[in-house]
Amino acid sequence: MNRKKKINSILKKRLKKINAKSAPANKEKYISKAERAKLEAQANEQATTDSAVLENS
């Protein structure tokens, strides 16, 4: 019984891994804290240049 149970559990684990890999990923790609700060700084810089252009027009 133990041998049978162990083989079944191994096969179930393999199936789980295969299904997990083939399933579509719902999570977004991780962006580090430093990268988020850099992107935010770029967005702020672009917003200030856009507002400066609007004021000069």
- In tens, the pLDDT along 36-53 reads 999 999 999 988 887 766
Give the residue extent of every domain in the chain.
Answer: 3-21+30-55
Q: What is the pLDDT of residues 1-11, one digit of tens each?
A: 799 999 999 99
Q: What is the model's pLDDT at position 36?
A: 96
Q: What is the pLDDT of residues 9-21, one digit of tens each?
A: 999 999 999 998 8
Which residue type occupies 7? I
Cα separation, 52 vs 56, whole angstroms: 6
Per-residue pLDDT, averaged over 21-25, amounts to 83
Cα separation, 41 vs 46, whole angstroms: 9
